[in-house]
């Protein structure tokens, strides 16, 4: 299957990156290289793009798409949480921009055998990096009822989390839950019929929760932002696109703290903690997709772009 991924908030992101022709830019979630190819178009022969992705299919697709710019592109298969180390290994100390387009790609959702989607019956997988041994099947069949409840409640924000966890544990006691449709049946049974009738697919939040837990998406994000800000040149920008409130909250708080890190009590006349601002948040509110974009790609509905500029 061809690697297809609609680049969400493409024009807005490229505009906010403030690309310098001779600059060095890092796309930490390379995917199908939609954003990266636009960055490359704006780079001179002295400019450079470092593309990072943990998904082998994304690496293959991006390598092909960025072929015309290969003189200025370096592609690395890794998780963006190691971006600063990747740069160090390449002999790069500071860069002019970082970009993260979080969440799951259209390709991952639409490739049935990857096991990300509740819409096709396929073995449970959901690994973004297929070198990882733990899969969604392992989580569903081996985590305790309390662990499953916490994951679905905290990462899926599903009010039926307790009942869904209970139904999963009951079902797997008879036989292991192997496929997406078997998991769908457990979720469906746990949610009252009248609640299933409204809103989206009943499995949506549970799948999101399992995927986030499996790929450690929130921990990776939380642990990466500060190091990437520190690796920016003055005036360099960090653009992050999120797709749900949990990610957005992490980004908003990290950017806000980087802008105003002071921990002195509010009644102190002067700052004594010695913490210095790293830069400024660009725009108080996130940038959202336009009406035109939503018509073309409904998956960008929940996208939010936040931008930080290094001092």
Q: Which CATH number covers residue 29? A: 3.40.50.150
Q: What is the mean pLDDT of residues 93-114?
A: 90
Say if residue 102 is in the same domain as residue 221.
yes
pLDDT in tens, 36-49: 999 999 999 999 99
Q: What is the mean pLDDT of residues 258-272?
A: 94
Confirm whether 189 is domain-assigned.
yes
Whether the pLDDT of residue 275 is over 80: the answer is yes
Confirm whether 122 is domain-assigned.
no
Confirm whether 5 is domain-assigned.
no
Confirm whether 114 is domain-assigned.
no
Q: What is the mean pLDDT of residues 207-224?
A: 97
Say if residue 43 is in the same domain as residue 172.
no
- pLDDT number for residue 4: 54
The owner of tokens 């292991």 is 176
- pLDDT number for residue 104: 85
Q: What is the DSSP string of 220-279?
A: HHHHHHHHHHHTEEEEEEEEEEESSHHHHHHHHHHHHHHH----S-TT-SS--S-----E
Say if residue 207 is in the same domain as residue 223.
no
Say if residue 139 is in the same domain as residue 103.
no
Whether the pLDDT of residue 194 is over 90: the answer is no
Indicate the pLDDT class of residue 298, thresholds 50, 70 and 90. Answer: confident
Whether the pLDDT of residue 2 is over 80: the answer is no
Whether the pLDDT of residue 222 is over 80: the answer is yes
Confirm whether 165 is domain-assigned.
yes
What is the reported pTM? Answer: 0.94
Q: What is the mean pLDDT of residues 125-135?
A: 96
Q: In which domain, by residue range, is 146 found?
A: 133-214
* 25 close to 97: Cβ distance less than 8 angstroms: yes
Whether the pLDDT of residue 30 is over 90: the answer is yes
Helix axes 161-174, 145-156, angle to 10 degrees: 140
Confirm whether 116 is domain-assigned.
no
Q: Which CATH number covers residue 192? A: 1.10.150.170
Confirm whether 264 is domain-assigned.
yes
Whether the pLDDT of residue 1 is over 70: the answer is no
Confirm whether 123 is domain-assigned.
no
Percent of the chain at pLDDT exceeding 70: 98
Query: What is the C-alpha separation between 258 and 269, in angstroms, rounded?
Result: 21
Q: How many domains does the chain have?
A: 2
pLDDT in tens, 233-260: 999 999 999 999 999 999 999 999 999 9
- Residue-averaged pLDDT of the chain: 95
Say if residue 210 is in the same domain as residue 221.
no
């Amino acid at each position: 299957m061809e690697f297809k991924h609609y680049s969400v908030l493409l024009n807005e992101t490229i505009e906010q990156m403030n690309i310098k022709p001779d600059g060095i830019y890092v796309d930490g979630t390379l995917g199908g290289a939609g954003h990266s190819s636009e960055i490359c178009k704006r780079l001179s022969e002295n400019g450079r793009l470092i593309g990072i992705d943990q998904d082998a299919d994304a690496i293959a697709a991006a390598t092909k798409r960025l072929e015309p710019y290969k003189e200025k592109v370096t592609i690395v298969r890794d998780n963006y949480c190691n971006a600063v180390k990747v740069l160090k290994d390449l002999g790069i100390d500071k860069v002019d921009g970082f970009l993260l387009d979080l969440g799951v790609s259209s390709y991952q959702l639409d490739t049935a055998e990857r096991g990300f989607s509740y819409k096709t019956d396929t073995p449970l997988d959901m690994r973004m990096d297929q070198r990882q041994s733990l899969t969604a099947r392992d989580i569903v069949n081996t985590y305790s009822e309390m662990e499953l409840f916490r994951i679905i409640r905290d990462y899926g924000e599903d009010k039926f989390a307790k009942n869904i966890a209970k139904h999963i544990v009951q079902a797997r006691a008879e036989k292991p839950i192997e496929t997406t449709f078997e998991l769908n049946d457990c979720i469906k049974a746990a949610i009252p019929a009248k609640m299933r009738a409204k809103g989206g697919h009943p499995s949506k939040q549970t799948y999101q929760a399992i995927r986030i837990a499996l790929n450690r998406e929130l921990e990776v994000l939380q642990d990466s932002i500060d190091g990437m800000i520190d690796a920016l040149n003055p005036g360099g920008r960090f653009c992050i696109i999120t797709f749900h409130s949990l990610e957005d909250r992490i980004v908003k708080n990290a950017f806000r703290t980087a802008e105003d890190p002071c921990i002195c009590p509010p009644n102190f006349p002067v700052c004594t903690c010695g913490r210095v601002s790293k830069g400024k948040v660009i725009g108080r509110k996130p940038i959202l997709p336009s009406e035109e974009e939503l018509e073309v790609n409904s998956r960008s509905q929940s996208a939010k772009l936040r931008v930080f500029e290094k001092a």
